[in-house]
Amino acid sequence: MTRFLTASALALLAGGAWAQEAVTLQLKWVTQAQFAGYYVALDQGFYEEEGLDVTILPGGPDIAPPQVLAGGGADVIVEWMPAALAAREGGLPLVNIAQPFAGSGMQLTCWADSGIASPEDFPGNTLGVWFFGNEFPFLSWMSQLGIATDGADEDGVEVLKQGFNVDPLIQRQADCISTMTYNEYWQVIDAGVTPDQLVNFRYEDQGVATLEDGLYVLEDRLSDPAFVDRMGRFVRASMRGWQWAEENPEAAAEIVLSFDETGAQTLEHQTRMMGEIAKLLGDSAELDPAAYERTVATLMAGGSDPVITATPEGAWTRAVTDAAKAQ
């Protein structure tokens, strides 16, 4: 919190305190290089240069960003599109205003000695899956494959409700677990497992990837031109932060660590994470309509149990990214 106050204090010293507009960003997960661009933008004064006083709220296992947004605890959130579209269909009108991440880092990581060489080998095995909205891409994938998720037999898999760690794989409680290319996969490696002992199934390679780490706001706020302008400045500064982080991965990791109040992160892991995150970043913050359509198609392809049941309308906008370019 000290760093946030310092950023505000710098704005005061700059003599523009009265012009600083508050923005609260709720992250999807804990402080780590997955969100380096935002921390860099705060640390390097990019938000301040845009007249913004930004507060970054870390996420965690008990924090649902859409609920924080609905309760007025944030102006903008980082969320995965499956959860955002499911929330929208459920009555919470989330709108994607920017999409810094063009690629998906989600995958299933399996023991090679489990006999799993392709997704067709999943039945009869136990697969670890994150929940709290993170399960939607997995369930859609299994539905498309015709694999039941109610028990390990010749037609289905046993779904282990995975915590946000890699213990189920290391302890052989699961044959596969959910990992991100930039985080949990490397935790497995750091635990002493070698890459040749593992088989990875990236969602992108399987044609079922969905958009991750987009920026979302409540729809009714977009009717206010001042809010759109403020979000445009926020997105522009954030993308400057991402570019800086991509060009300076170790320095960006050090900045992230300076905001981590838990002391649980290491420079080596965060630097490596930043390098992997850079592979997922897009050339701009604009959402790719083709990637959006692919995400919607994946989520609706769930047979009798789709993640969403109807094609969303008004779920994304270019108003904010256009404002970011125009200013």
DSSP 132: T
* Cβ atoms 45, 270 nearer than 8 A: no
Question: Rounded to an integer, what distance in angstroms lies between the CA atom of residue 33 and that of residue 93?
Answer: 28
Q: Are strands 176-180 and 106-111 parallel, antiparallel or unpaired?
A: antiparallel
* Cβ atoms 282, 93 nearer than 8 A: no
* Cβ atoms 92, 40 nearer than 8 A: no
Two structure tokens written together for 193: 């497992």
Structure confidence at residue 194 (pLDDT) = 98
Q: What is the pLDDT along the chain (327 residues), one digit of tens a residue?
A: 334 433 444 444 444 445 799 999 999 999 999 999 999 999 999 999 999 999 999 999 889 999 999 999 999 999 999 999 999 999 999 999 999 999 999 999 999 999 999 999 999 999 999 887 678 889 889 988 999 999 888 889 999 999 889 999 999 999 999 999 999 999 999 999 999 999 999 999 998 899 999 999 999 999 999 999 999 999 999 999 999 999 999 999 999 999 999 888 899 999 999 999 999 999 999 999 999 999 999 888 866 678 899 999 999 999 999 999 986
Instruction: Map out the domains of the chain with their CATH numbers.
Output: 2-101+211-326 (3.40.190.10), 106-202 (3.40.190.10)
Helix, strand and coil percent figures for the chain, each rounded to 5: 45, 15, 40
Structure confidence at residue 7 (pLDDT) = 44
DSSP 181: T
- pTM here is 0.89
Two structure tokens written together for 196: 């040749």
Structure confidence at residue 5 (pLDDT) = 39
Two structure tokens written together for 125: 């095995």
Structure confidence at residue 320 (pLDDT) = 98
Residues 6+ apart with CB under 8 A from 92: 66, 69, 70, 218
Structure confidence at residue 139 (pLDDT) = 87
